[in-house]
């Protein structure tokens, strides 16, 4: 796993004006109108909201787009930045210029692949070129496109749910976000490498070993003194902090013998469930 993004598209369909039915351009914006998402937009793994149910959010590493539902509306993604709405893997010639399309029809969003490489959804479901599009459920869906030298480029997708799926109104209550733990830069990088299979949504992920993690960290940060003992010390420090904060199954006493990978497995799952780590963090491996 080496890369997770590209450069934001220009927000217009190939050779034309705004996307069909987006309402983009000029004056006010009607409910469901399309708009660009900036590079500073947070990971969609932490959720998204819109006044109109069925609104689509699509985000690559440096930006994306949101668009309300409407029959025939489309969001194009791929490598050719001037001709797509969300650019993915701009510097990777194995990614197709137009890799795929998110289309709204029959009351829901669908993902289709027109590129040479398959798209990988969660649980390693592969969508090949010109196969029947797959429907997207409400909530979060990561899409991965393979590239050169083992790279994978990530596009996050989020579809807001209908009113009927929302809990009853609690207008006066303070919003309760998930508990997100503070990590140092070195802790985050070590945990991203240790748990990259989890962040990539492998169907049966396991943590890397201390030695494997140290070797990958040394490859992306030569001369920084990465060793298996240093990785173990950093990760165990995070595990102890979370355990003291009440996160269960992070001690040998709770797990029981043989421990194996259980402590790191439970730690990584807790960090993902709290959105302390999100798939977009895989970009750190390239940036380091």
- The answer to whether 154 and 5 are in contact (CB under 8 A) is yes
Can you give the pTM of this predicted structure? 0.77
- The answer to whether 65 and 75 are in contact (CB under 8 A) is yes
pLDDT digits (tens, 9 = 90+) for 179-203: 789 999 999 999 999 999 999 988 8
96 band by pLDDT with thresholds 50, 70 and 90: very high
Q: Average pLDDT of 37-48?
A: 91
Please check the confidence at residue 215 and state whether its pLDDT lies above 60: yes
Partners of 108 in beta bridges: 105
Q: Average pLDDT of 137-161?
A: 91
Q: What is the pLDDT of residue 61?
A: 87
Q: What is the pLDDT of residue 148?
A: 82
Question: Average pLDDT, whole number, for the chain?
Answer: 84
140 band by pLDDT with thresholds 50, 70 and 90: very high
Q: Which one is predicted more confidently, 152 or 59?
A: 59
How far are the Cα atoms of 45, 209, 258 from residue 254, in angstroms, in the given order? 29, 21, 11
31 band by pLDDT with thresholds 50, 70 and 90: low
Q: What is the pLDDT of residue 163?
A: 57
Q: Average pLDDT of 246-253?
A: 92
Q: Average pLDDT of 28-40?
A: 71
113 band by pLDDT with thresholds 50, 70 and 90: very high
Q: What is the pLDDT of residue 287?
A: 62
Instruction: Give the best-scoring range by mean pLDDT among 26-35, 225-234, 250-259, 279-288.
Output: 225-234
Instruction: Give the best-scoring range by mean pLDDT among 10-24, 25-39, 97-111, 173-187.
Output: 97-111
Q: Average pLDDT of 123-150?
A: 89
**Site of tokens 């001709």:** 83
């Amino acid at each position: 796993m080496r890369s997770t993004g590209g450069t934001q598209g220009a927000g217009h369909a190939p050779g034309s004006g705004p996307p069909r039915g987006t309402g983009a351009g000029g004056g006010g914006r009607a409910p469901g109108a399309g708009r660009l998402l900036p590079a500073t937009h947070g990971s969609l793994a932490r959720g998204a909201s819109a006044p109109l149910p069925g609104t689509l959010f699509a985000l690559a590493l440096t930006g994306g787009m949101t668009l309300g539902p409407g029959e025939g509306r489309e969001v194009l993604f791929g490598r050719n930045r001037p001709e797509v709405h969300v650019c993915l893997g701009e510097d990777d010639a194995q990614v197709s210029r137009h890799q795929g399309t998110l289309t709204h029809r029959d009351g829901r969003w669908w993902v289709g692949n027109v590129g040479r490489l398959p798209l990988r959804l969660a649980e390693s479901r592969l969508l090949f070129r010109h196969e029947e599009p797959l429907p997207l459920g409400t909530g979060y869906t990561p899409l991965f496109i393979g590239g050169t030298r083992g790279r994978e480029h990530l596009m996050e997708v989020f579809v807001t749910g209908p009113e009927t799926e929302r809990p009853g109104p609690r207008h006066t209550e303070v919003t309760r976000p998930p508990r997100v733990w503070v990590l140092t830069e070195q802790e985050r990088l070590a945990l991203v490498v240790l748990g990259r299979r989890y962040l990539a949504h492998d169907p049966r992920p396991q943590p890397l070993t201390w030695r494997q993690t140290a070797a990958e960290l040394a490859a992306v940060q030569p001369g920084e003194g990465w060793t298996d003992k240093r990785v173990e010390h950093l990760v165990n420090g995070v595990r102890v902090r979370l355990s003291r904060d009440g996160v269960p199954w992070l001690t040998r006493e709770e797990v029981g013998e043989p421990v194996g990978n259980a402590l790191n497995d439970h730690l990584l799952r807790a960090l993902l469930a709290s959105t302390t780590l999100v798939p977009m963090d895989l970009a750190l491996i390239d940036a380091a």
